[in-house]
Amino acid sequence: MPRVWDKFLSEQDKAHLAIVGEGRKVGWGTRPALLLIDNYRGVVGYEREDLLEAAKTNKSAVGLAGWRALEAQRKLLAVGRELDLPIIHITGMAEGNMPGWGYCVSHPEQRGVLRGPVPMRAAEYAIVDEVAPTEHEFTLAKVAPSAFWGTPLIALLNFLDVDTLVVGGESTSGCVRASVVDAASYRFRVVIAEECVYDRHEACHAINLFDMNQKYADVLPLQEVLHHLQSAHAVPLASAANEVLRCR
């Protein structure tokens, strides 16, 4: 089956894969949850624009790739909600004067002297309406690329007894990758729904998916992910997730 990264691989890369195979297969556990990362307005924008057009007014824009991924995520969310799976949304922290990693990296002159307030972008960190959380879903704010760093995500997943994370969001090469690597480090199984992740640059998107598929996760077509989740394999989690949410 053709993969999104095929056109970016060299002949040597392909020859090597022919010898060693496509990397380890992670597989599914029995208790999946959805983890949707950084679907916020500051990168998606307010209207559908081509990347080059959107970048003229917003350097963080992801263009049409983001809108296509949101459509795919809506399908993933519909199935996740139908099965009552735990659904966790991640966005940037926009309160408390806590500087994010991006601000710190781009303002080294503030090291050791920073005394708030830090410019915040509350409106930009709002999760877009297309995939907005419901009242029964979880939302966590982060200040680093990984959804795990400095957040209670690991505690939440442990409490929910989750063993598999189905990941969507942006950027494939940045916060998605950082979160996937940390999730694998914490010994979770990770499945990336290919059409549900997005990035600004095609090469970065494709090669990072290739690399994560080789080492940390299974990168699967959305339809395959949905088929699995709708099977009996995911059913035992539904009642447990409902019980946890009723206690909130």
Q: Which CATH number does the domain housing residue 116 bear?
A: 3.40.50.850
The answer to the question of residue 35 being in a domain is: yes
The answer to the question of residue 229 being in a domain is: yes
The Cβ of residue 157 has, within 10 Å, a number of other Cβ atoms equal to 22
pLDDT (tens place) for every residue of the chain, 248 residues total: 889 999 999 999 999 999 998 878 999 999 999 999 999 999 999 999 999 999 999 999 999 999 999 999 999 999 999 999 999 999 998 776 677 766 667 777 777 777 666 665 778 899 999 999 999 999 999 999 999 999 999 999 999 999 999 999 999 999 999 999 999 999 999 999 999 999 999 999 999 999 999 999 999 999 999 999 998 555 555 455 555 554 55
Instruction: Quote the domain boundaries for residue 61.
Output: 6-17+26-246
The answer to the question of residue 148 being in a domain is: yes
The answer to the question of residue 131 being in a domain is: yes
Tokens of 64: 């049409």
The amino acid sitting at 203 is A
What is the pTM for the complete model shown?
0.89
- Give the pLDDT score at 243: 55
- Give the pLDDT score at 112: 77
The total number of structural domains in the chain stands at 1
- Give the pLDDT score at 119: 63
The answer to the question of residue 1 being in a domain is: no
Backbone angles phi, psi at 79, to 5 degrees: -70, -45
Burial of residue 229 (CB within 10 Å: 0-12, 13-18, 19+) is buried
Nearest by Cα to 31 from 234, 185, 216, 243: 234
Half-sphere exposure of 128 (CA within 13 A, CB side): 24
- Give the pLDDT score at 1: 80
The answer to the question of residue 217 being in a domain is: yes
- Give the pLDDT score at 22: 82
- Give the pLDDT score at 110: 75
Do strands 189-198 and 164-170 pair parallel, antiparallel, or not at all (unpaired)? parallel
